[in-house]
Amino acid sequence: MPPPSSEAGDDDGSPPPSPALSPRGTSSTPSLPAPSADVDLTDEVQDFRFLTSLIDSETAQKLPSRGTKDFEPHGTRAQDAALAASRAAMHAALSLARVHPRGGQRAEWDGKDGAWVDKPGGFWVRSVGRVVRVPIADSDSDSDSEDQPSDTMPTKPKSPRKPKTEARTHLHPEEALWLLERGSLDIHWPPAPGEAPFTGLPMSLQGGYAAFLGEVLSLEVFTVYQYLKRAGYTVLRAGENEGSVPVYKAAAGNPLSVLFARLWTALFAPQPAHDPTTNTSIGPAPTDPTAPRVTYHVYKPLPGFKKTSPGPPDFYVSVINARESCFPSERQLDGLLAQTPYHPPTGVTNLYLRLKKGYRDVVLAVVDQGVAWSMAIWTS
Amino acid sequence: MSYGTGTRNRRPNYAQLHARPLPLITTPLPAFIPHNPLSLIRILHALLLPYIAPPPSHPAPRYQAYFSPATRSVHVTDPAAVRALWESGFFGKGSLSRSEPTWLEGEKRRRGLGAEVTSEEVTAKRRRERVEFKRERARLEREAVEEQLRKEKIAANGGAVDELVEKVAALEVTEVNGSAQAGESPETVEDPVEVVVEASDLKAEAAADPETAPAPSVQDVDIHLVNQEHLQLSLEEAFFLTYALGVLDVQLPSSSSPTLPTNASYLHLFRTHSRFPPSATLTPTDPFLLRYAVYHHFRALGWVVRDGVKFASDFLLYERGPVFKHAAFAVMVLPSFTHEYWFEDPLGVKERRRVEGERGGRDWVWLHCVNRVQTAVVKTLVIAYVDVPPPGEEVDDVGDVLGRYKVREFCLSRWSPNRNRG
Amino acid sequence: MADITVAEPFPIFAVANKYILYDINTVTYIRRVHHICGVLIGNIPQAAQQNVFSGIPLELIPEEARLLVERGSAYIVDDVASHRRGLTDLSAAERIAFVSVLEKQGLEAALAQKRKADKKREKHFEKAGGKARKRGPDREDTELESASASYAVSRAASVVPNDSDVQPLCITPTTSYPPLSAPKPTTALLPPASPSYDLFAHLHSKDYFLSPGLRFGCQYLAYPGDPLRFHSHFLANGVAWDQEISLLNIVAGGRLGTGVKKGYLVGGKDDSRDEVRVFCFEWAAM
């Protein structure tokens, strides 16, 4: 961490200029040299006139890293015109309808949470949705074509037949809503009684929000899911992916050196009240519904990802509603971190790197109309 | 590196000045060189010496200080003690300075006696430059806006702009510029802070010029200049020096007995004054106990721990000291209740709720505010949970009381999905 | 757009304790007239894999929804119940009519897309033909190139937009209220008032645009004008009049605000005088 420059070496009272804001006014005024921190473009509302830089390379205007906003209204018509142009650009950009070619995948709302997909295909199937075996609706009145009786065999008495099942792809509500918003999937309401499936009315975006948000999926969780998917990650529910969390195996060392190390630490090393090396196992999700828990396992967008065997997740994300919870207590934070794998910083000698890595870590996604990300690391 | 004898602005050798991490004298064991038998003798000598003729480890007369109830802190006035406490471990803060007690140096410079430049003066100079720069920038902006307004007015009134109007416009521009400059003085009057800075700048500039200012003899100075500053130790620092290290004696204001108070009475006093107004009833949740547990914990691990109110945290952790590198960590102390007393006993529940409601209730907005402050000054936020024991017997053994508290740290840093991809 | 207006009172849809708007006209209207911005939480279909820009729907914080309802400009609709009722109430004829409307829109969208693609192709061929014409004086090459160029131009000309073989696209409509009947205005539902609602309403009445500021360490960010155009002036936090404020919080806020050139604002309602008072803090170091 490079310290801010100071001649006398003590912490200065005045903070350096923040990178989050552009200098006041137009570009003709002199500006101070900017500190080298990253600029997070999602921090501010950006002008929609720069949206074209992302979609149309021909008329692209480069997205300025700091924007060209003013400090206060000064009544010039130029400023009013710029504002009207921005608002018009926003209106135009958001008025476009979601279209996709006919013949793509379609799905149907299953009535409580999620949707069934008709013929899964397309790029998203690699990372979204799960195959569920569902009993076929009319398996009772099975036609003889299912059976293949051999003429040579004597007829057996009819044993109770296991219901026939078929493999269908099911989407969780956040997955279905995300695909609907992207315009990749056509979702239908359940059909009128007596009609064939997938012939119900097509779901609008508004209908999608009404159908999929509710007790199971809150808007906070969906916001985080959507943010991560738009950034390109693969996101799986933690509750269904527990088998992928790696269990820690201590490296077997020379027994003599292990004994010596234990003796040394017992005699000379300070004894911390909480020894992080004592508990290396993965704990269960907390039973208290208000306690924070790991919501999603997130994987970086690398090729070769398999839904059936995803491997150890890259990040563990816990979604927190800022308005309805406080900063967790020690016990709650401990319970939350217990659901993440234990990874001691062995072999790292640099103090700062050791502290940065820590023994366990979790990503906290705190949501209040927009996500604030931070990482909590158990250092010792 | 040596002290700059000729030039005044050479930085002092901090590594030499602050060689000792604590105000104790330690004799390290000499290195063991296997092939040199003499090194073995040296080691034996060093090991046996403490039993035969022990070298002093503590300062011979202990440092003296007195407790000030008005400021709820401990004051040290003896110059030798002040220097020793600051140099070995960075304890305390100069009451008239930003951190290191430099008031006397600054005063000498102000009177033209040629002392070294203090850090406050360096900072003041930098701030003056920044204020100038901002003023210039604001003036240019204002001109740009006025220019734009004027153009629009012409466009609204005119249509085609002919040469005559252009000439008038050119004249107007100069007039506008002139009025902008003239208009600056009312601006500065409205801004009292800037005016004050300017006035003191002029004085400082005049006094700082050593060639023109007369140089009275040094002896005159020593007679007339009394150090108005004292070293201010926070309650945690004073207790650490008294109890953990045993190098400090704190005089209590109203005590008339010749014997000094015990550590237990210091603890009682500091606990009483950790709340405002001072409360006679002591509870396990006294802020002094929580803060001291964390202070002692990090000092024992080797960090230099200083107060962090400047950065909206409880403590700042430095690896070697503030003069070497900026603090890497800002510590926030949070009480943690795990014992069943705090959840089942009605008094315990009431006390727990009261403590948890302090500081606005630890909501996420507060956390992000603090986290953003730390990020802006490149520090990592450390949350130190202190496990509070249930109230037990009030014993005199300080170690027993303190030993019931447990400290556990978590680091909190900002994370970005965009920066962590791939 | 100066001329977009929406009939008042307009519906705000409540889903899972959140207040959401889906109609772009309403979004633009409340921004211009009521100074309510909300937060866009949806996807932009034409740029789906990025997080800088978001699209419809617009989420309103409970304070914003309550303000609009109290003004009488809007009313709350329970969207889940409304959908459930509306879908069962739709007759078969209405369904068929709606589906055909969607088909027509899909066809129009497909035609528009095709025309855009055709135009692009034409431009591309024109550029290629232009390049050929500009080429050097070598006669053999010129003939060959002009032949190919003229072939290309003629081919572009001969591709008559044949609309009959265009497949209509599938449209996902944004709002549900063309097929469903618009719900009736009612004042039965009022969003709850949070403890800082008084401050919100006060700042809003002073013509500030307010947006949530969790990420910046405050409850609301106060902008002097539209956030599209202006930087925010204040980091606002609402507190109760008798609530104790820790000094460390003020230090943190003052330091944070001054670092990003904003004022740290704390405000609340003084019930004895029935007015909202606000106070600003600024960092002034030694």
Instruction: Say how far apart CA A126 and CA B342 lie, in whole Å.
Output: 50
Inspect the interface and report whether the beta carbons of B148 and A380 lie closer than 8 Å.
no
Inspect the interface and report whether the beta carbons of A315 and B420 lie closer than 8 Å.
yes
What is the pTM for the complete model shown? 0.80
User: Please, are residues B407 and A273 in contact by the beta-carbon 8 Å criterion?
Assistant: yes
User: Please, are residues A270 and B300 in contact by the beta-carbon 8 Å criterion?
Assistant: yes
Interface test with A, best of C51, C63, C221 (most A CBs within 10 A): C51
CATH no. for A218-245+284-380 = 3.40.1350.10
Beta bridge partners of A364: A318, A374
Instruction: Say how far apart CA C216 and CA A368 lie, in whole Å.
Output: 12
The question of whether C223 is a catalytic residue gets the answer yes
Inspect the interface and report whether the beta carbons of C225 and A227 lie closer than 8 Å.
no
Per-domain residue ranges of chain B: 22-57, 283-421
Q: Please identify which residue in the block is written with the tokens 């004597």.
A: A154
Per-domain residue ranges of chain A: 41-68+78-89, 104-133+165-217, 218-245+284-380
CA distance, residue B366 to nearest chain C CA (Å): 6
Instruction: Say how far apart CA A31 and CA A307 lie, in whole Å.
Output: 50
Lookup: tokens for A100: 């996709």
Dump pLDDT digits (tens) for C128-179: 877 766 654 454 444 554 555 455 445 544 445 456 667 777 778 888 877 7
| Average pLDDT across chain B, whole number | 78
Query: H/E element holding A186?
Result: strand A186-188
| Per-residue model confidence (pLDDT) at position A299 | 92
Which residue on chain B is closest to A364 by alpha carbon?
Answer: B415
Residues of A in contact with C93 (CB under 8 A): none
- Judged by average pLDDT, the poorest of A117-126, A154-163, C15-24, C277-286 is A154-163
CATH no. for B283-421 = 3.40.1350.10
| Per-residue model confidence (pLDDT) at position C4 | 84
Instruction: Tell me if the domain spanning A104-133+165-217 has CATH number 3.40.1170.20.
Output: yes
Lookup: tokens for C84: 């459930």
Which of C231, C232, C204, C201 is CA-nearest to residue C218?
C232
| Per-residue model confidence (pLDDT) at position A137 | 64
> In this complex, which of B98, B360, B368 lies closest to C217 when CB atoms are compared?
B368
- Judged by average pLDDT, the poorest of B153-167, B338-352, C81-95, C131-145 is C131-145
Written as one string, the DSSP assignment of chain C is -TT---PSSEEEEEETTEEEE--HHHHHHHHHHS----EEEE--GGG-S-SS--EEEEEE-HHHHHHHHHHTSEEEEEHHHHHHHHHHH--HHHHHHHHHHHHHHHHHHHHHHHHHHHHHHHHHHHHHHHHHHHS-S-HHHHHHHHHHHHHHHHHHHH----GGGPPPPEEE-S-STTTSPPPPP--S--PPPPTTHHHHHHHHHTT-EEEE-GGGTSSEEEESS-TTTB---EEEEE--TT----HHHHHHHHHHHHHTT-EEEEEEEETTTTEEEEEEE-----
Inspect the interface and report whether the beta carbons of C215 and B368 lie closer than 8 Å.
yes
DSSP state of A59: T
| Per-residue model confidence (pLDDT) at position B210 | 39
Residue A271 contacts B, CB cutoff 8 Å = no
| Per-residue model confidence (pLDDT) at position C219 | 92
Residues of B in contact with A24 (CB under 8 A): 137-138, 141
Q: How many CB atoms lie within 10 A of CB A151?
A: 4
Inspect the interface and report whether the beta carbons of C249 and B366 lie closer than 8 Å.
yes
CA distance, residue A261 to nearest chain B CA (Å): 20
Dump pLDDT digits (tens) for B354-384: 888 876 678 888 888 898 888 888 888 999 9
Q: For chain B, how far is it from start to end, CA to CA, in angstroms? A: 47
Lookup: tokens for C98: 């709606």
Residues of B in contact with A25 (CB under 8 A): 137, 140-141, 144
CA distance, residue C275 to nearest chain A CA (Å): 26
User: Please, are residues B76 and B82 in contact by the beta-carbon 8 Å criterion?
Assistant: yes
Residue C214 contacts B, CB cutoff 8 Å = yes
Inspect the interface and report whether the beta carbons of C283 and A368 lie closer than 8 Å.
no
pLDDT confidence band for C206 (50 / 70 / 90)? very high
Residues of C in contact with A24 (CB under 8 A): 231, 261
Residues of A in contact with B123 (CB under 8 A): 8, 12-14
Of C202, C262, C264, C269, the active-site residue reads C262
In the sheet that holds A106-109, the strands lie side by side as: A130-135, A165-171, A115-117, A106-109, A186-188
Q: Please identify which residue in the block is written with the tokens 């039993």.
A: B51
User: Please, are residues C61 and A369 in contact by the beta-carbon 8 Å criterion?
Assistant: yes
Which parts of chain A sit beneath pLDDT 50? Answer: 1-38, 57-63, 65-66, 139-153
pLDDT confidence band for C268 (50 / 70 / 90)? very high
User: Please, are residues A124 and A179 in contact by the beta-carbon 8 Å criterion?
Assistant: yes
User: Please, are residues C99 and C107 in contact by the beta-carbon 8 Å criterion?
Assistant: no
Residues of B in contact with C255 (CB under 8 A): 311-312, 373
Instruction: Say how far apart CA C264 and CA C244 lie, in whole Å.
Output: 17
